[in-house]
Structures are given as C-alpha cells and as structure tokens.
Structure 1
Amino acid sequence: MTSLVIRNAELLDCTGADPRPGMDVAVSGSVISGIGLGAGSAPDQVIDATGLTLMPGLTDAHVHMGLVSSAGDVGDLPWIDYVFTVRGVIENTLQEGFTTVRDAGGLDPRWARLVEEGVIDGPRILPSGSVLSQTGGHGDLRHAHHHAHPRGSIPGLSATPEVVDGPDQVRRAAREQLRKGATQVKVFGSGGVLSPTDPFDSLQFSHEELRAAVEAAADWHTYVLAHCHTSDAIRRALAAGVRSIEHASILDEDAARRIVDSDAFAVVTLAVKYDLLENPERAGLTPSQLSKLQAVESEVGRSIEIMGETGVRVGSGSDIVGPLQDRRGRELPNKARFMGSAEAIATATTTNARIFYMEDRIGTVEVGMEADLILVEGQPLDEIGALADPDRIVAVIKGGRVYKDTEGRCSST
C-alpha cells in the first residue's frame, strides 16, 4: 500500500467548515488516513502544497462524453476517430479536476469499465447507457420526413436513445441498460432544445411508462434521472418516483416544493446554455432551436431563485456536448451568479455525492473518505473562476494516485 502526504495546504474540506491554512493531509492507499499538522509519517510521496487550496475532486452529474460529433450523429464518424476523441474527452475531464462524473446518455458503459481497469486515465464514470425516449420525444432523432430511425450509434462504443412506447417496452429497455452496466436509468420526460420535432413544453412518457422505468431501476437498487425542463414534466416525473430531475429550467413554486417533499434533487445545467448562446452559429442551431434556448435562458435564473427559496437540493451538471468538451468547470461560476460561491461548490461536491449515493465516499475531505482531491491556485471561495481554468488546477489525485502535477510539487521520499 502506497502512502502520500500533502503538506501545508489551505484546506477547503467542503464540510461547511471555514478554510484552514497550513494543513497536512495523509493518504494511505486510496483513502484519506489523517488530517492535521504533521499528519502522516514516512510517506512514499510528498506534495508541497504551499500557496494552494486543497479540496475534494469535483463531480459532474450531467455529462455526455460520448456525444462528440458536432453534427450530433456519432454513427457517421469513423470508429477510430470516435474512439480517440472520446478517450481524449475522458482524459481531459480528469485533468480539469473532475474525479467522478455521471454520464447522462450516449456513452457505452464499457468505457466506465476501461477507466476502472486502468486502461484509460479518467474520472470515475457512472454510466446511464442509452436514454429512453417515447416516439416523437426528445430522443427520437428523426426529422418529420424520416420514417426509419437514423443509425446514430457505434455498437459497443456509443449508446443512442432507445425509442420505446408503453410500460412493457420501457421496462424491457431499462432492464437492458442495467444489463449492459448502467448504474442508473435515464428517461426523457419533456421536450428539449436540440431535438428536431418535439415542442419544448411537451410532456413525454405517461405516468405508467415512467413508473415502469422507476420499478425496473428499483429492482436493481438504483434510481431514475429524468430530463424535465418544465413544471408539468417535473410533477409527472416525481409522481412516478423519479429521484433526479435534470435541468428544471422553468419551474414554479409548486413543482419546487414537490421536489423537496419527494426527497428528490434538481441537477441544474448552465454551461451548455451559455456556451450555445455565445456560439449559436458554431453549434449550427436552427432558428427554432435558438428560440427554444432563449426561452430557457430567460427563465432559468428565476427558477434557481425559487429552488433556493424552497430548499431544493441542487446538483451540478455541465451538459456540454461536441468534440472538445473542455472547461467543464465553467458550470460553477455560472451557478455562483445565482447562489454564491460556497453553494455553487457544494453542488459539485457534497450534493452530487448524495445524488450518486456516494456521500460516504466522496464530496468532502475527511478521514476515511476516498482520496479524490485537487490542488487549486487561489481560493475558490474568493475566486470561483479558478475552478473553470484548467491551468489553475495544479494537481489532481483520484483514489490516492496522482494523475496531474503541473508544477512538479510531488516528490518521492
């Protein structure tokens, strides 16, 4: 078992405590074994963290690391291009300080196993596999004049949506994702911005269909996350037992209170919205898509305020797609505009950990937790933009192993 000590860091442990300067953190194997002045004796490695902030590794509850085609149809990519592009996205995500991510559709679960097996250096991936969509829903990628479904997938590598109708088809598709290695099930519960035919405010899947997905997931001791932009979609999803509401872009106070009463979460996704609005031409948005996006952007700030007023537990997701998928950390300063830096950081650490059912392993710097840690230039509570700049993420540690050390601060003893 290897050992590591991080010396003289300013510790932001994300437990709610104030930052503590001059702290040492000891790691034994993959676990934090000591915190305090002089913690750790005769370690195998030492990191001099003078002038840096030590905090938990970041998490992202809504990524699409397999959706790397700007045109949206990864099935048109040569498979070798797809493999190396996705591998680059996975590796860069870890280098940016994200040590655990939940893939919200598009990535075959085999990629998560490749990371776990050490074939690829990346964050811990919680895959959803193929998202479940109704006919004509957000995941039905056909244009109005199409009859056959587009290929859109590379078997064993990517995972396009499963278009299913009726409780029996939904149940079977959910079980199929779990069989392939999904750690949770994703469904589309409302219309979306980028889909070609569905109205943005459409309700998708009936109560019975959603309930079938929830029951299939519960049988595997896991849960369902649902893409829901509007209050009506949120209410329907919650009534069926959905645990994680994705986006929640336009919600009223009643929907927010129902999230709280259902012991559910809302994963707010801002980075993708602002990225698309800043570069609509590069993203190739149609006038209809741009109009839907602008409608979302005009409401999302008030929706976040309502969540704060009603006590909704807010998680963090970037939702960015395309071949680059860089600077995921932009999600945090975007959130801080509406909720402050401390709460924004909590969304990407402690709250996401609860969503993942991993709060006993990740999200805080405490003895007994996984040694998923980052060293940041500056204090993120004062400069949350530091978390959006990969160059200011000086070191990344996942499971006790150092994956990034740009300043050469780690030395063997």
Structure 2
Amino acid sequence: MPQHPDIPGMSSPELRVHGRTQPSAITGQPLDCVITADRLWDGDSAHPTSDSWVLVREGRVESAGTGTDMPDAPAVVDLPGHTLLPGLVDCHVHVMAETFNTSPVTAQVLRALPPMRMLLANGFTTVRDLGTAELAATVDLRDAQEQDVIRGPRMVVAPNIISARGGHGDKMPVLRRRYGAEIGTLADGVDEIRHRVREQARAGADWVKFAASGGFSTSGDDPTWTAYSQEEVDALVGTARDLNLPTTTHAFVDEAVRRAVRAGVRSVEHASLCAPSILPFLEEHGIFLVPTLHRPLSHLTRLDDDDFWADKPDFARTQFRQHAEQMRTFMNALSDSEVRVVLGSDASGDMASENWREFTAMTSIGLSPLRVLRAATSTASDLLRRPELGRVRPGCVADLVAVPGDPFQDLEIMGRVDFVMQSGVIRRFPQ
C-alpha cells in the first residue's frame, strides 16, 4: 500500500483492544465489541456526532450512541482521534482489467487478489465490478469472496460489458495487436442483444452493463458515437428487467444517455461529454450518476506532460484535447445539480491502490464533503438496493472504517483509512 503523508499536527494513529486479544483479526471471525471514536458519522446525517460508540454483535450494528454510558461487550476497540464511518462503496471498478480475457479463468482470479486486498485496505468493503474478464472469472471471484476463500470487498458484478461491434467493448488497441481479445460481449440487433443478456443472467450476474456510446480508451470508435438504437436499448434493458437484473450504461453523450434513461436504466456511468441540460433530465427520472472523475481529471491536467502520455495511444491524448472544455463545463455544472451522485473510481488492476483519490476529485469540482461522503456510502447503498450497507444504524451489516481526523474538514484523510471492519471482522488496524 502507498504511504500517504501525515496530516500536520495529527499524532500517529492508535488502536487498543481491551478484552479478548484481537480474535477476529487472527481467526477471521466476527468480534462482538463496542467501538469508540472521537466522532461517528452514520452515512446520512449532515454532521458527525462527538464522543461516540457503536455496539457490534454477530456481524451487525446493534446500537450506536454518545457519551461514556456504553453497553457491555466482550471487547472494547478504542479509536482516539478518529472518525468512524460506514464501510465505503466503490460503484465502478474493474478488478480484473489487467487480464482482459487473455488468461485462463484461474489465472484471471489469482491476478485479481492484490487489487482486492488494496481496495479493502482502503476501506472499501463493497464494490460494484463492471466487468472486463470472462463471465465465469468475475462471478467466481465474487463467490470466493462471499465464501471467505479470499479477502477483499464484497462484490456486486456486471461480469462483461455488452457492446456493439466496433464499439467501446470491442477490441482494445493493445489486445488487437497482441491477442485479438475482446473486453466485452458483442451484440448487434434485438435478438442477439436479448440472447447476450440471458447469457449474463445464466452466468450469475447481479447487474447488466452495456456501452451506449463509444469511449476514450478504445481504438476504432469515438466517445461521441451513439452505439445502439432506441429499439436495441429497449430490448436490452427490458430483457434484463424481465430477469430481475438492474442495468447501467457506459455513456458519454446526450443521445446515448437519453436512450438508456428512456429504456429504464438505473444508473449512468461517465456522461462527461453531455451538455449540462442532461442533469435536470437525470434528476427528473431519478437516475444515479457515477461520474468517475479522478481518471479524466488526471488526464486533463496533464495534457502537456509528454511523460504521462508516453505509454498511451496518441489518439487518446488527441481526444482529451478535443473535448477538454466540454468535459470541464459538464463537471462544473454537476455541483449545482441535485442528481444522485455515486462514487466510482474506474480503478483497474494496480490502480486500485489509488481509488480513494475519487474523494478529492469530486470535491475539486465543487461537490461538498457531505455529498461526496454520502456518494461513497448511503447513496451507493440506495443505488445497489442494499439497505443493510452504507449506513451505521441498528440492523445494518457491521462494515465500519475509521480515519485519523475529521473528513468533513479535509477529505484528503480518506486516503489514510487505518481501521477496517467488514461484517464484524477486523480487517485492518494500526500495528
């Protein structure tokens, strides 16, 4: 894990466990305990509470309160100087992206283990993985985590992006040269699209993702292209709905977004080439937006940095130059909207260690710390329809993280998570 600089004036993190000696960290079993912290934020409230505690029993939050009058528990975990928050949720990752369907399924799963550990160490106890590996690989990774075979965030998966031929999910340039491999499931026309959706359901998908537009990272297409007709999008979303699967779409431009929303998608990914007028449309239809800001902002701020672009295709730099003003206009308008924004880092492979930077990217365009923190907790829970996640309230899963200091004053400290509890099991604490 990368070391993040200390916050001036902040003492080194401490953690003391009284009672049983760190049993959950050793055995992987849930720890019944009271956790105390200087501050507690529950995932919804406008401000954290002070001098707070949370009672955890059998992997769930039983109660929470303030003051020294705490319930009895077999162990007490003290987090002085810390803010305790719900476990974080990243709703746009590609854990297996570095394999891109080019390895045996077992190898794809094994290569995903380091990114999974990185994400959990960063405090992300749940992720929505939006594909790039084989159907079986992504689903097997999800199931292995659920069965506690591997350590990492619990996964909600859209195993493989459905794409038009010649679209964003067709062939990445490096894979075109080396392997001829695809990052997506290709489908054109109503019948083939329905067939591909049913394949994803059969494989065990939780979500279905499709590319309604082109993208920045693929050759042979363009982010301004609209990939599917309204009839095709209606067929895709409707078939998924019949199978009780929610849908999300990769879409950069207005018409691609509008077709997807008319069809009934639950969320939209990116949208950064849209006119600001798309935002009231998303609000009206109750759509969740996952803008994935860190990666494009890092590209936009380095347009003249030759070293940064040395290992990237020339066409990508050209595209970012061409659309820079348009992207900045959309991002600036986002903070004034009331769209339900959800945190998604678009992290892939080793980039998982940097997914926390989405917090500062979101505040850099004017989103408030409260809105950003909700985007990574309660709003993400609402998107996933998982009410037991993203909040600290009785009955919720005991997913809890702690940071040294107050993130409402400085969101940079979200890169310094030093306590992670997942389903009542302590996964990370300072040594």
Normalising by structure 1, we get a TM-score of: 0.88
> How many Å apart are 1:402 and its aligned residue?
0.8
Q: Match of 2:392?
A: 365
Which residue, out of 151, 173, 176, partners 2:199?
Answer: 176
Query: 2:324, 2:211 → 1: CA distance?
Result: 20
> How many Å apart are 1:377 and its aligned residue?
0.9
Partner letter of residue 384 of structure 1? L
Which residue, out of 373, 377, 396, partners 2:404?
Answer: 377
Partner letter of residue 64 of structure 1? H
Q: Match of 1:156?
A: none
* Residues 341 and 380, structure 1, Cα contact 8 Å, conserved in 2: yes
Distance 1:310 1:42, change over 3 A: closer
Task: Say whether 1:355 aligns with 2:383.
Answer: yes
Query: 2:201, 2:69 → 1: CA distance?
Result: 42
Which residue, out of 35, 48, 71, partners 1:19?
Answer: 48
* Residues 31 and 426, structure 2, Cα contact 8 Å, conserved in 1: no
User: What CA deviation, in whole Å up to 9, does each residue of 1:212-252 have, x standing for no partner?
Assistant: 12112212223110001111211121122122110010222
Range with greater deviation from structure 2 (297-306 or 328-337): 297-306
> How many Å apart are 1:40 and its aligned residue?
5.6
> How many Å apart are 1:81 and its aligned residue?
5.9
Which residue, out of 66, 73, 76, partners 1:43?
Answer: 73
> How many Å apart are 1:80 and its aligned residue?
6.8
Query: 1:243, 1:182 → 2: CA distance?
Result: 15
Identity fraction in percent: 28
Which residue, out of 314, 338, 343, partners 1:287?
Answer: 314
Q: Secondary structure at the match of 2:375?
A: helix
Which residue, out of 47, 52, 59, partners 2:89?
Answer: 59
> How many Å apart are 1:138 and its aligned residue?
0.5
Partner letter of residue 87 of structure 1? L
Distance 1:196 1:39, change over 3 A: farther
Q: Match of 1:211?
A: 234
Query: 2:358, 2:419 → 1: CA distance?
Result: 20
Q: Match of 1:88?
A: 114
* Residues 333 and 341, structure 1, Cα contact 8 Å, conserved in 2: no
> How many Å apart are 1:82 and its aligned residue?
4.2
Q: Match of 2:128?
A: 102
Which residue, out of 354, 360, 380, partners 1:327?
Answer: 354
Matches within 5 A, 1:221-240: 221-240=244-263
Query: 1:39, 1:133 → 2: CA distance?
Result: 57
Query: 2:391, 2:358 → 1: CA distance?
Result: 19
Matches within 5 A, 1:259-298: 259-276=282-299, 278=302, 281=308, 284-298=311-325
Q: Match of 1:242?
A: 265
Query: 2:261, 2:161 → 1: CA distance?
Result: 18
**Root mean square deviation of aligned Cα:** 2.5
Q: Secondary structure at the match of 1:179?
A: helix
Query: 2:92, 2:399 → 1: CA distance?
Result: 19
Partner letter of residue 31 of structure 1? R
Q: Match of 1:197?
A: 220
> How many Å apart are 1:320 and its aligned residue?
2.2
Query: 2:113, 2:310 → 1: CA distance?
Result: 22
Q: Secondary structure at the match of 1:9?
A: strand
* Residues 115 and 349, structure 2, Cα contact 8 Å, conserved in 1: no
Distance 1:7 1:230, change over 3 A: same
Q: Secondary structure at the match of 1:199?
A: coil
Query: 1:12, 1:86 → 2: CA distance?
Result: 31
Query: 2:344, 2:157 → 1: CA distance?
Result: 14
Q: Could you tell me which runs of 5 or more consecutive residues in structure 2 were left unpaired when the two chains were aligned.
A: 1-29
* Residues 377 and 393, structure 1, Cα contact 8 Å, conserved in 2: yes
Distance 1:303 1:52, change over 3 A: same
Partner letter of residue 397 of structure 1? M
Q: Match of 1:411?
A: none
Partner letter of residue 109 of structure 1? V
Query: 2:177, 2:195 → 1: CA distance?
Result: 23
Query: 1:262, 1:283 → 2: CA distance?
Result: 42
> How many Å apart are 1:304 and its aligned residue?
3.2
Q: Could you tell me which runs of 5 or more consecutive residues in structure 1 were left unpaired when the two chains were aligned.
A: 153-159, 408-413
Q: Match of 2:190?
A: 167
Q: Match of 1:29?
A: 58
Partner letter of residue 420 of structure 2? V
> How many Å apart are 1:148 and its aligned residue?
12
Q: Secondary structure at the match of 1:182?
A: coil
Which residue, out of 276, 299, 302, partners 2:329?
Answer: 302
Query: 2:322, 2:238 → 1: CA distance?
Result: 34
Q: Secondary structure at the match of 1:317?
A: coil
Normalising by structure 2, we get a TM-score of: 0.85
Aligned residues: 392
Query: 1:189, 1:337 → 2: CA distance?
Result: 28
Query: 2:310, 2:297 → 1: CA distance?
Result: 12
Task: Say whether 1:5 aligns with 2:34.
Answer: yes
> How many Å apart are 1:275 and its aligned residue?
4.2
Q: Secondary structure at the match of 2:296?
A: helix
Query: 2:178, 2:310 → 1: CA distance?
Result: 25
* Residues 213 and 252, structure 2, Cα contact 8 Å, conserved in 1: yes
> How many Å apart are 1:305 and its aligned residue?
3.6
Distance 1:292 1:45, change over 3 A: farther
Q: Secondary structure at the match of 1:186?
A: strand
